[in-house]
Amino acid sequence: MSLSRIYAIYVRQIFLLRSNPTRLATVFLWLVIDILQWGFISKYIGSLGQATFSFITVILGAIILWEFMSRIQQGILMAFLEDIWTQNFINFFASPLQIKEYLCGLVLTSITTGLAGFFAVVAIAGGVFGYNVLRIGVLLLPFMFILLIFGIGMGVFVSAIIFRLGPSAEWLGWPIPMVLSLFSGVYFPISTLPPFLHTFAKFIPASYVFESMRSILGSGTFPHDLAQNLLIGTLLSLAYLLVASRFFIVIYRKNLESGNIARFNAEAL
- Please state the closest distance from residue 252 (CB atom) to other proteins, in A: 11
Nearer to other proteins, 90 or 250 (CB): 90
Q: Determine if 208 is a binding residue for other proteins (CB under 8 A).
A: no
Q: Determine if 219 is a binding residue for other proteins (CB under 8 A).
A: no
The interface region with other proteins, picked from 2-10, 25-33, 194-202, 203-211 by CB under 8 A, is: 2-10
Nearer to other proteins, 6 or 209 (CB): 6
- Please state the closest distance from residue 31 (CB atom) to other proteins, in A: 23
Interacting residue with other proteins among 36, 97, 122, 165 (CB under 8 A): 97
The interface region with other proteins, picked from 24-32, 41-49, 84-92, 181-189 by CB under 8 A, is: 84-92
Helix 3-19 / helix 21-47 crossing angle, nearest 10 deg: 70
- Please state the closest distance from residue 215 (CB atom) to other proteins, in A: 46
| Total binding residues toward other proteins, as defined by CB under 8 A | 32
Nearer to other proteins, 92 or 240 (CB): 92
Binding-site string for other proteins from residue 18 to residue 57, where x marks contact by CB under 8 A and - marks none:
-xx-------------------------------------
- Please state the closest distance from residue 16 (CB atom) to other proteins, in A: 6
Beta carbons of 110 and 79 less than 8 angstroms apart: yes
- Please state the closest distance from residue 133 (CB atom) to other proteins, in A: 35
Nearer to other proteins, 231 or 262 (CB): 262
User: Which among 110, 118, 209, 115 is positioned nearest to 154, based on CA atoms?
Assistant: 110
Site residues, other proteins (CB under 8 A)? 2, 4-5, 7-8, 11-12, 15-16, 19-20, 82, 86-98, 253, 256-259, 261-262
